[in-house]
Structure 1
Amino acid sequence: MLDANLTQQLKAYLVNIREPIKLVASIGDDAKSREMEKLLNDIAALSDKIAVVTGTDKRVPSFMIRRAGTDIGVRFAGLPMGHEFTSLVLALLQVGGHPSKAAQDVIDQVKNLDGDYEFETYFSLSCQNCPDVVQALNLMAVLNPRIQHTAIEGSLFQPEIEARQIMSVPTVYLNGEPFASGRMELEQIVAKIDTGATARAAEKIKNKDPFEVLVIGGGPAGAAAAIYSARKGIRTGIAAERFGGQVLDTMSIENFISVPHTEGPKLAAHLEQHVKDYDVDIMNLQAAAKLVPAKREGGLHEVVLANGATLKARTVILSTGARWRQMNVPGEDAYRNKGVTYCPHCDGPLFKGKRVAVIGGGNSGVEAAIDLAGIVAHVTLIEYDSQLRADAVLQRKLGSLPNVKIITSALTTEVKGDGSKLTSLTYKDRNHGTSHEVELEGIFVQIGLVPNTEWLKGAIGLTQRGEIEIDDRGETSQKGVFAAGDCTTVPYKQIVIAMGAGSTAALSAFDYLIRLPAEIEAEAA
């Protein structure tokens, strides 16, 4: 199971185990059980503090990592390889007594949770969002003995997936009931359980002194803006709904200059760490709700957060990014995560052997169809235009696949289901005006992005598409308010361009500050 490189890396990590641990294996006679048995024995051979023992869990194959002589532990049902291998390594270390790098206030919050919580997380090995959820819940189970967690590889437990009608990952159950779906960080999970957390966060934020530069958004543009501002030695804050932004949902990045290949979550982690290297006040999990521009040049702008707190700043840099565009047809909302999904890499394995549709004929849509064709029974690609818009090399690959049907000049009009799961979609033939229905179990929507700017309407200039209007310096229609990245009129939505735009906006904000009249600077002091 472990190649020489992984074995060497794992052995180096396992020296950090402080307390003996047992790998309690529940295995059968199937091939996956034999793979799991070999994996666990390979791990145990790397440390004298690890032993493999036999268990009798209801899920086979599965194993529990348990601290010897205690009830502290976490369980994996399936093989935590692929993106989940890091989750396995962290679980071994943390159950073995190695301390977490999570913030101490969050650790204390988890330890003080009152109640019994049994979490179950369904993941796929190709899901890049799943590890964050699995690792967060594993850590909670290690920190608090009243919390239990089982991470379940969905493709190995199809009857369970069918019974619970799980059609997207990660999906989390708490005490047998649906709890959450999609990427979540430790702080988000804890806040969802600890109902007083939001009010405490708001109280803490509203007492902050005004910033000279306040960045809204934690994607590539926001991170670059915060770093460039902090390097100028001015008081900088960054408020982000989720640090990393849309990058967190990007599977593979091969056009980030000087880095031949990386993955979105890895790049997002590097962005956050780089910002933390500077004196930046990071306020994560904070959504902006309203911008109140300063009443005079050099005055304080106000940003009202969703939790009710207000932040003030001499300049503001808006870098709120974008999100997946929706079809906006009847049934889409009703069957989201019940067949309608937006991430083929994450959710594709859940549709093994089923019929699906991909909406969109650009690069992302065609790439999704190609990926899915190797997993599902059949893919129907539906494109509004009269021809596909993807690169020619992708179109040639798609055309060579026997289980793919391409429909152009088609407008999706409705998503249908039986009340619990999706069963079909209807589309209108734009050439002849006829309506058609396609029976299927999944729809993957890949039709571009929408800027996250609804909260800015009436405060600054926006285009009809909702993009923030900026000049070549990143300045908006309001003096002292700048913007950068995918939420703006910048013509190309690329990571490297967003970083450059964030840097430009920060330098422009600094230039604006140093040119303020002396009397305004005196007021700020």
Structure 2
Amino acid sequence: MLDQDIKQQLAAYLERVQEPFEMVATLGEDAKSAELRELLEEIAAMRADKITLRTDGTDARVPSFTLARPGSGTQLRFAAIPMGHEFTSLILALLWTGGHPPKVEPEVIEQIKALDTDMDVEVYMSLSCHNCPDVVQAFSLMSILNPRIKTTIIDGGMFQGEIQAREIMGVPSVFAGGQMFHSGRITLEEILQKVDTGAARRDADKLNAKAPFEVLIIGGGPAGAAAAIYTARKGVRTGIVTERFGGQVNDTLDIANYPGISHTTGPEYAAALEQHVRDYEVDLITAQSVAELVPATQPGGLITVKLGNGGRLQSRSVILATGARWRNVGVPGEEEYKTKGVAYCPSCDGPLFKGKDVAVIGGGNSGIEAAIDLAGVVKHVTVLEFMPEMKADAVLVKKLNSLPNVTVHTNAQTTEITGEGGKVSGLKFRHRGDGTDASVDLEGVFVQIGLVPNTEWLGDTVQRSKFGEIEVNARGETSVPGVFAAGDCTTVPYKQIVVAAGAGSTAALSAFDYLIRTPAPQAAAAAPEAVTA
């Protein structure tokens, strides 16, 4: 099952197991059961003194297995063979069940243990989904730490009947008590905010009590991380507030054009960014949305950032690095059928459409890469490009044209995504050349038409372009003194990771220059400015 190198690495990890626990498998006579049995036997043999394998499980899902410490009351079940992107999730589950402490803040662990709500959680994932591990690991940890939370991790590819019965067309999908809890990526902190009703108020109180920063960065992607590293190295008090560290990098499967790094994945790069920031004295505030920016009342004074939970932070300078998100097509049916056939992550959700007909809207690099990827999984791919010619690199277009199960329509305008029975059933489009209408029957639509900046919350506070991008000069300065911006949320051309990182560094150096050239007013230095609620 496991090759020799992986066995050696896994055996080294399992040396950290401190307490005995059981793996209880429910197996059948099928090939998947045999595969799972082999995997579990190899794991048990590596730490026979701590890990016991039983094969007398009676779970309804076959094959599956549970992890539990005798007498603990905790139970985590995998209705899956957790390899691929989920192999790390399996290793962590084994270590945590065996008493190895998780790398989570102590207050978060205590918050999980204190939850007094019973939850029966089912997490549907795909082994090829790079967004799923964070969700799988979050609920696994909650289940291991709190016996009132029962978690089952389900491979949608193995249990297609459940996927169809629950009309799941996007992963990760989380059900609690049989009802939809969340669809898409979600962090441990965000989960706790949803299930712990008092968390938002407590978080707001903690944030309000923080002393003012010298530089506060909004956004934790490449631009925000680079800015934090540069300002922290200057010795100024730096903070980052972000909904999820890494931003949209987390949704990027392959990165092969960053100088000095021949190849990495988005999640790996995001984790490396976070670790680099944590190497310095940066106050990292995650799982928080921003709601409003209030400029200083006088030069050098304190700028206020109001958060979605009611809290607020203050700083002498602010760097906006909020990034961008996938652009919507904006046609009838798109909103209605999101997660019901309309998707934005081919690598995550592609396996759910195995053997089905799908469409990709967009003929740029991301769209053509998605079509090539999907063509190896689905029955047929229809590509729609609005312009007369595809915008993707020639090598990608050549590869696409070599595939037998792909149809390309250029100069085509998507007009509607249709559905039946609560899920996508087709797509309508118009041939822009002659104005004729056409339609195609399918079960999935993958939208790949670029990005829109995350700047709506700013309103008219800073000057923005007609596309919503924050207008900046060569120094990253905005129209508001003390407020800088960097990355995909700005008017800087070429939305690339390396460009964003460079812009973040520029904004950080400009912010530092602003601080040393703009003395803080005595009143602002002595106490936070009054802010109207």
Question: Normalised by the size of structure 2, how large is the TM-score?
Answer: 0.96
Q: Separation in 1 of the partners of 2:107 and 2:11? A: 31
Any unmatched runs of 5+ in structure 1?
none
**What aligned pairs does 1:359-508 form with structure 2 within 5 A after superposition?**
359-508=361-510
Equivalent in the alignment of 1:5: 5
Aligned ranges for residues 186-225 of structure 1 at < 5 Å?
Answer: 186-225=188-227
* Deviation, structure 1 residue 476: 0.7
**2:211 & 2:524 partners in 1: Cα distance?**
14
1:494, CA displacement in angstroms? 1.1
Identity %: 62
In structure 1, the residue matched to 2:137 is 135
Residue matched to 1:27: 27
Distance apart, 1:303 and its partner CA: 1.3
CA–CA separation in structure 1 for the residues paired with 2:434 and 2:513: 57
- The AA in structure 2 aligned to 1:52 is L
What is the one-letter code of the residue matched to 1:437? S
Q: Give the root-mean-square deviation of aligned CA atoms.
A: 1.2
Q: Cα distance, 1:160 vs. partner?
A: 0.6
Matches within 5 A, 1:58-73: 58-73=60-75
1:330 aligned residue (322, 328, 332): 332
Counterpart-to-counterpart distance in 1, 2:294 and 2:64? 54
Tell me the residue number matched to 2:239.
237
The amino acid across from 1:97 in the alignment is G
Specify the code of the residue in structure 1 equivalent to 2:154: I
Deviation at 1:522, TM superposition (A): 8.2
- For residues 49-448 of structure 1, what are the structure 2 equivalents within 5 Å? 49-54=50-55, 55-448=57-450
SS at match of 2:477: coil
Q: Secondary structure at the match of 1:45?
A: helix
CA distance in 1, matches of 2:71, 2:40: 20
Cα pair 1:318 1:484 within 8 Å, conserved: yes
Q: Offset of 1:85 from its aligned partner?
A: 0.1
- Is the 2:415–2:430 Cα contact (8 Å) retained in structure 1? yes
CA distance in 2, matches of 1:498, 1:147: 40
* Inter-partner Cα distance in structure 1 for 2:239 and 2:58: 51
Q: Which moved more, 1:102-111 or 1:315-324?
A: 102-111
Cα distance per residue 1:226-248 (max 9 Å; x no partner): 11111111111111111110111
2:72–2:147 Cα contact (<8 Å) kept: no
AA aligned opposite 2:231? S
After superposition, the C-alpha distances for 1:471-521 in whole angstroms (9 at most, x for unaligned) are 11111111111001111111111111111111111111011110114x737
d(CA) in 1 for partners of 2:524, 2:305: 20
Residue of structure 2 in register with 1:43 after alignment: 43
SS in structure 2 opposite 1:125?
Answer: coil
- The code of the aligned residue for 1:281 comes to D
- Mapped partners of 1:375, 1:197: distance in 2: 42
CA distance in 2, matches of 1:135, 1:237: 27
Contact 2:11 2:46 in 1 (8 A): yes
Provide the C-alpha distance between the structure 1 equivalents of 2:100 and 2:238, rounded to a whole number of angstroms.
33
Shift of 1:363: 0.6
Shift in Å, 1:70: 3.9
Q: What SS does structure 2 have at the residue aligned with 1:155?
A: coil
Q: Give the partner amino acid of 1:137.
A: F
Q: Distance in 2 between matches of 1:456 and 1:323?
A: 16
Equivalence for 1:15: 15
**CA shift digits 1:104-138 (9 cap, x unpaired):** 11111111111211110000011011000000100
Letter in 1 for 2:54: V
Question: Is contact 2:389–2:410 with CA below 8 Å preserved after alignment?
Answer: yes
Residue by residue over 1:276-329, the C-alpha shift from the partner in whole angstroms, topping out at 9 and shown as x without a partner, is 221111111111111111232212211111122222111110000000000011
In the aligned structure 1, how far is the partner of 2:97 from the partner of 2:369? 39
Q: Does the 8 Å contact 2:122/2:153 carry over to 1?
A: yes
Q: CA deviation at 1:73?
A: 2.9
Instruction: Give, in whole Å, the separation in 2 of the partners of 1:440 and 1:337.
Output: 15
Matches of 1:409 and 1:81 in 2, distance apart? 42
Map of 2:529 onto structure 1: none
The residue identity in structure 2 corresponding to 1:404 is V
Give, in whole Å, the separation in 2 of the partners of 1:208 and 1:64: 43
Farther-moved stretch of structure 1 (37-46 vs 441-450): 37-46
Q: Which amino acid aligns with 2:43?
A: I
Distance 1:46 1:69 in 2: 23
Counterpart-to-counterpart distance in 1, 2:73 and 2:302: 53
1:127-157 deviation per Cα after TM superposition (whole angstroms, max 9, x unaligned): 0110000001000011101111111000110
Counterpart residue number, 2:530: none
Contact 1:73/1:95 (CA < 8 Å) preserved in 2? no
Worse-matched range after superposition: 23-32 or 348-357: 23-32
Q: Which amino acid aligns with 1:501?
A: A
* Conserved 8 A contact 1:360-1:381: yes
Q: Partner letter of residue 204 of structure 2?
A: A
The structural deviation recorded for 1:72 is 2.2
Measured in 2, the distance between the counterparts of 1:97 and 1:493 equals 44
Q: Does the CA-based 8 Å contact 2:301-2:524 persist in structure 1?
A: no
Match of 2:325, SS state, is strand
Deviation at 1:523, TM superposition (A): 5.0
CA deviations on 1:29-59 (whole Å, 9 max, x unpaired) are 1111111111111111111222221112111
SS at match of 2:87: helix
Name the SS of the counterpart of 2:309 in structure 1. coil
The CA deviation at 1:61 is 1.1
Shift of the alpha carbon at 1:447? 0.3
- Checking the alignment, whether the CA contact within 8 Å between 1:19 and 1:68 is kept in structure 2 is no
CA distance in 1, matches of 2:74, 2:62: 21
Tell me whether 264-273 or 365-374 shows the greater mean CA deviation. 264-273
Q: Secondary structure at the match of 2:263?
A: coil
Tell me the alpha carbon deviations over residues 321-353 of structure 1, each in whole angstroms, 9 at most, x when there is no partner: 000000011111110000000000000000001
Q: Which deviates more, 228-237 or 439-448?
A: 228-237
1:76 to partner: Cα distance: 0.8
Q: Does the Cα contact within 8 Å between 2:333 and 2:418 map onto a contact in 1?
A: yes
